[in-house]
Amino acid sequence: MEGVMKPEKMTVRAPIPLEMRVAMVLYKLASSAEYSVVANKFGVNRSTVRKMVYLFCTGMVTSALGHFIKVPTTEEAISIANRFEQKFNIPQIIGCIDGTHIPVSPPSEAYKDFVNRKGWPSYVLQGVVDDMYRFWSISCKMPGCSHEADVLRQSSFFSQAHLLPKEPREINGVSISHFLLGDPEYPLMDWIMKGYTHSPYITPEQESFNAYLSSAMTTVEIAFERLKSRWRVLMKRSDFHFAFTPKVIATCCALHNFCENEKEDVNPNWSVEAETLASRHLQPGVLANSDADNPNGERIRDALTDYLSANFPLRQP
């Protein structure tokens, strides 16, 4: 990354110091200010800010993203699953998957493709997070009209899901490998668990499973909130070209992970501002997946339901 942002040796004017180059990019991402505002703040040309943002985000995606966002190793997955189980009682979870919509300025010829169910243009950011609010997989290339299940299927993560750490554990007579938790928009599979629907009926044990699952799913909700509070450029339609926006989103996710690894707190004032911005772009509601559930996924979910009801108090949503 340092080589990407490093000032040129042969220039007519004194080069902008590396620290200042990075600072103006971080200011742009954190404040969501227009290029002209950032330029005035740092005493440079608008085109200079645009160039620095392009260099930084492109360099992050091509050179550093894999360092900050990566699938956990087997050892890491075991630690994640243990911490999830200690917090939420459900064994074998190594991540929670969900999507959130990021505002974008779309091209006029494809505007409708970007409009989500709430009526505003966006990209869908799919994220998988661990128990410490860190992303270990992201996908941000699908337009806002896409269903989360389609976003999943079109992601490289889906095609490589068979490579995820498994470490099977027998629970109530069923061998259960590591899995993700998801909301009703995702398919039920042997590596993605979701709650039971209320049709035609639901037992107290199934309702309790849903309650435990919902508690654990707050992990990804908090991660998205912390991401957007830190990098408020993700909260409004920016002056980025629509084709460049996915690089900005990925860069913000990587920087978020850096902050979480460094135990950096989220300033409450940032969260308040993020909530105000979020009210202008309400997130689409959950649209249940109508695909047939995977039989092995159902068997695993039933075993987990029996395990929870036998070992922990029944809960209600």
Q: Does some domain include residue 316? A: no
DSSP track, 44-81: S-HHHHHHHHHHHHHHIIIIIHHHHS-PPPHHHHHHHH
In a domain, residue 317? The reply is no
Q: What is the pLDDT along the chain (317 residues), one digit of tens a residue?
A: 555 666 555 455 668 899 999 999 999 999 989 999 999 999 999 999 999 999 999 999 999 999 999 999 999 999 999 999 999 999 999 999 999 999 999 999 999 999 999 999 999 999 999 999 999 999 999 999 999 999 999 999 999 999 999 999 999 999 999 999 999 999 999 999 999 987 778 999 999 999 999 999 999 999 999 999 999 999 988 889 999 999 999 999 999 999 999 999 999 988 888 888 888 889 998 877 767 678 999 999 999 999 999 999 999 87
Task: Give the domain-ending residue among 45, 67, 89.
Answer: 67
Can you give the residue range of the structural domain that contains 123?
69-311
Same domain, 36 and 79: no
Task: Say if 301 falls within a structural domain.
Answer: yes
- In the chain, the amino acid numbered 136 is W
Are 215 and 153 members of one domain? yes
The CA radius of gyration of the chain, in Å to the nearest whole number, is 21
Q: Is residue 93 located within the same domain as residue 63?
A: no
Same domain as 146, residue 44? no
- Cα separation, 50 vs 36, whole angstroms: 9
Q: Are residues 59 and 119 in the same domain?
A: no
Residues 45 and 101 in one domain: no
174, β-bridge pairs:
171
Identify the helix (H) or strand (E) that includes residue 131: none
Spatial contact of 191 and 177, defined as CB atoms under 8 Å apart: yes
Spatial CB neighbours of 217, under 8 Å, sequence gap ≥ 6: 96, 98, 181, 182, 183
φ/ψ of 292, rounded to 5, equals -65, 135
| Domain count of the fold of the chain | 2
Q: In this structure, what token pair is assigned to residue 198?
A: 């209320």
Question: Are 100 and 235 spatial neighbours (Cβ–Cβ below 8 Å)?
Answer: no
CB 239 within 8 A of CB 34: yes
Nearest to 246 by CA among 62, 123, 66, 111: 123
Please say whether the beta carbons of 169 and 180 come within 8 A: no
Indicate if 57 and 73 belong to the same structural domain: no
Q: Are residues 90 and 143 in the same domain?
A: yes
Do 89 and 52 reside in the same domain of the chain?
Answer: no
Same domain, 286 and 158: yes
Identify whether residues 207 and 224 lie together within a single domain.
Answer: yes
Last residue in a domain, options 41, 67, 93: 67
pTM of the predicted protein model: 0.93
Q: Are residues 147 and 28 in the same domain?
A: no
| Residue-wise burial string across 267-301, b where 16 or more C-beta atoms lie within 10 A, e elsewhere | eeebeebbeebbeebeebeeeebeeeebeebeebb
